[in-house]
């Protein structure tokens, strides 16, 4: 055969066609209308050698403009240790797939077990499942958990300070599962506790979803929230920035029932919106309502450490209509990525990452406010490394000026509001460069120069 990697020989094709009562492939496709059949030659490039292909894509890659990133809003530019990619390439990890046969899947099972362990520690929860697709769908799955656990209640309260992207996915899940979503009002950049209590008093609430830090970068105080939810027999669900949990009070410490979010901030590089990896951690009492699966540790016949699938709801495969969730797969490669990242960084490394981001963000915010051209959108609220500023100037113009200087200045979240994020990746020079760029167009000198 001309292409030896095609698995079917002509004899194979003849046997299959004979079983179908046909003599040729044309007979197989005879039901396709003639006007839909592609009759021209395919416009395919000439074959290239490996070196030529590499040069071709290198040239395409050079057309991309890499901007210094001060954008956040759910995706964060954190440092990725180079050793991660080398460990990813190890054969026991790279070649593994769905771990139904434990004998040949120890690599996959091991890193999922380690992922679960680290995420449970990071969130302060008792158990974690194998990873999920991303933070938004993980939050939606937690919403479904709350409704399933409540049985006859289908109303879920969502804070107005939750990321709008997460809310859109919640809306989609809710629409097709008969869940009623109700919003808890925002008061000065944080979720209104009074509005929560008022809505809980109305009854029929299965769960409450809040964020830490919230969409505006604010670290909210959730004192009393868990008690209020539990008195109303509702679950408290916290959508978290995974990296920030290295220094913030954990969902477990707040008394939350479920902790969810995206692990992208744990070292996964930014790449045009992906990839990410969802996590979902909870208490033991909800383990049977948790989507996905759990990997456990045991010993084999020789007494050696081994890993197996410990828990997976059979309803996901067999009785799908009775299942809380039909998720049966996970974002395994990215789960391995953040597991290696966390093992390399450790508690001390995560703290340092957040301390650097905190100091850089607060320095930048101070410079912008002192210029008189910006003000903090929520000046009396604490933030970690992300903050919102208001200005009367044209944010589109500022964004264009930033791009011309190879800087992504942040995310415009309103006509007059810019959300800016500073991670440990941003150097003092880069932070000063952004501050100068945002402030200088408004200075008297710049105006005099433009008039001249």
CA–CA distance, 149 with 152 (Å, rounded to integer):
9
Can you tell me whether residue 57 is helix, strand or coil?
A: helix
Q: Quick check: 330 pLDDT over 80?
A: no
Q: 93 pLDDT band (50/70/90 cuts)?
A: confident
Model pLDDT for residues 363-375, shown as the tens digit of each residue = 999 999 999 999 9
Give the C-alpha distances (Å, rounded to integers) separating 378 from 97, 366, 368, 421.
Answer: 47, 13, 14, 15
Strands 417-421 and 386-390: antiparallel
Model pLDDT for residues 201-238, shown as the tens digit of each residue = 999 999 999 999 999 999 999 999 999 999 999 999 99
Cα-atom radius of gyration of the chain, to the nearest Å?
A: 26
Mean pLDDT of 117-135: 94
Most distant CA atoms of the chain, gap in Å: 85
CA–CA distance, 404 with 418 (Å, rounded to integer):
18
What is the full DSSP assignment across 148-214? Answer: HHHSS--EEEEETTS-HHHHHHHHHHHHHHTPEEEEEPEETTEE-HHHHHHHHHT--EEEEEEEES-
Structural domains of the chain in order of their starting residue, each with its CATH number? 10-55 (no CATH), 68-76+346-451 (3.90.1150.10), 83-341 (3.40.640.10)
CA–CA distance, 100 with 293 (Å, rounded to integer):
11
Q: What is the pTM of this model?
A: 0.86
Q: 94 pLDDT band (50/70/90 cuts)?
A: confident
Share above pLDDT 90 across residues of the chain, in percent, rounded to a whole number:
75
Mean pLDDT of 234-263: 98
Q: 449 pLDDT band (50/70/90 cuts)?
A: very low
């Amino acid at each position: 055969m001309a292409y030896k990697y095609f698995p079917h020989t002509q004899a194979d094709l003849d046997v299959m066609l004979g079983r179908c009562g046909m003599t040729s492939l044309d007979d197989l496709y005879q039901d396709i209308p003639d006007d839909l059949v592609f009759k021209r030659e395919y416009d395919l490039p000439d074959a290239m050698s490996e070196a030529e292909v590499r040069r071709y894509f290198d040239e395409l890659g050079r057309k991309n403009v890499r901007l210094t990133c001060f954008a956040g809003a759910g995706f964060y530019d954190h440092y990725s240790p180079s050793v991660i990619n080398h460990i990813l390439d190890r054969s026991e990890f790279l070649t593994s797939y769905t771990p139904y046969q434990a004998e040949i899947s120890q690599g996959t099972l091991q890193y999922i077990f380690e992922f679960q362990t680290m995420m449970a520690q990071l969130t302060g929860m008792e158990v974690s499942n194998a990873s999920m697709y991303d933070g938004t769908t993980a939050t939606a799955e937690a919403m479904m958990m709350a409704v399933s656990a409540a049985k006859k209640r289908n109303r879920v309260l969502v804070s107005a300070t939750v990321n709008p992207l997460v809310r859109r996915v919640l809306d989609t899940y809710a629409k097709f599962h008969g869940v009623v979503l109700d919003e808890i009002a925002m008061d000065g950049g944080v979720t209104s506790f009074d509005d929560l209590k008022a809505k809980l008093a109305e009854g029929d609430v299965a769960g409450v979803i809040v964020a830490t830090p919230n969409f505006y970068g604010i670290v909210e105080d959730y004192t009393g929230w868990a008690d209020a939810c539990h008195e109303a027999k509702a679950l408290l669900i916290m959508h978290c920035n995974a990296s920030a949990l290295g220094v913030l009070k954990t969902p477990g410490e707040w008394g939350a029932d479920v902790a969810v979010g995206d692990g992208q901030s744990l070292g996964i590089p930014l790449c045009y919106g992906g990839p990410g990896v969802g996590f979902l951690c909870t208490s033991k009492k909800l383990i049977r309502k948790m989507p996905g699966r759990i990997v456990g540790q045991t010993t084999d016949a020789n007494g050696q450490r081994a890993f197996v699938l410990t828990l997976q709801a059979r309803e996901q495969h067999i009785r799908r209509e009775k299942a809380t969730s039909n998720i049966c797969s996970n974002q395994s490669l990215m789960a391995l990525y953040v597991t290696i990242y966390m093992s390399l960084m450790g508690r001390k490394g995560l703290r340092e990452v957040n301390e650097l981001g905190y100091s850089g963000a607060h320095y930048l915010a101070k410079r912008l406010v002192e210029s008189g051209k910006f003000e903090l959108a929520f000046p009396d609220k604490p933030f970690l490394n992300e903050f919102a500023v208001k200005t009367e100037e044209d944010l589109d113009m500022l964004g264009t000026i930033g791009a011309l200087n190879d800087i992504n200045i942040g995310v415009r979240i309103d006509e007059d509001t810019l959300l800016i994020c500073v991670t440990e990746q941003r150097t003092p020079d880069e932070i000063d460069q952004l501050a100068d760029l945002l402030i200088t167009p408004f200075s008297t000198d710049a105006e005099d120069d433009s008039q001249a």
